Amino acid sequence: MTVIAAVQPADFSEPGPQEVIGIIKQIKETGVPAIFGSEVFPSKVMEQIAREANVKFIDQLSDDELPAPPNHSFIGMMTNNMTILTKALGGNPTCMANIDASNIAF
């Protein structure tokens, strides 16, 4: 997986119009099938970029909220994220099915 742009950098600023145009152009040129956001920081700009680039916008990735039991662990959270990423990028998400995060202490 190659990251081609960051829409919301560490300072949480939104990109300017020229940056948005550049990101849309990069997405179209590289054939990116989806862009990803965090459930914690919803972004209207990312939704707009996805619409204009005609790609999926996935905002279900978690960076700090653990999933419900039995996978209530950091590994469970990462497994969920990888399942979402894999499916959105056209892969087979069953690659994560055999990971047992339920027995990891938290």
Sequence ranges of the domains in the chain: 1-61, 63-106
Residue with tokens 């653990």: 66
Q: Which residues of 21-51 are buried (b: 16+ CB within 10 A; e: fewer)?
A: eebbeebeeeebebbbbbeeeebeebeebbe
Choice between 4 and 65, residue whose per-residue pLDDT is larger: 65
Q: Say whether pTM exceeds 0.85.
A: no
How do residues 53-101 score in pLDDT, each as one tens digit?
999 999 888 888 888 888 888 889 999 999 999 999 999 989 888 888 8
Contact 20, 45 (CB under 8 A): yes
Contact 48, 10 (CB under 8 A): no
Domain 1-61 in CATH: superfamily? Nitrogenase molybdenum iron protein domain (3.40.50.1980)
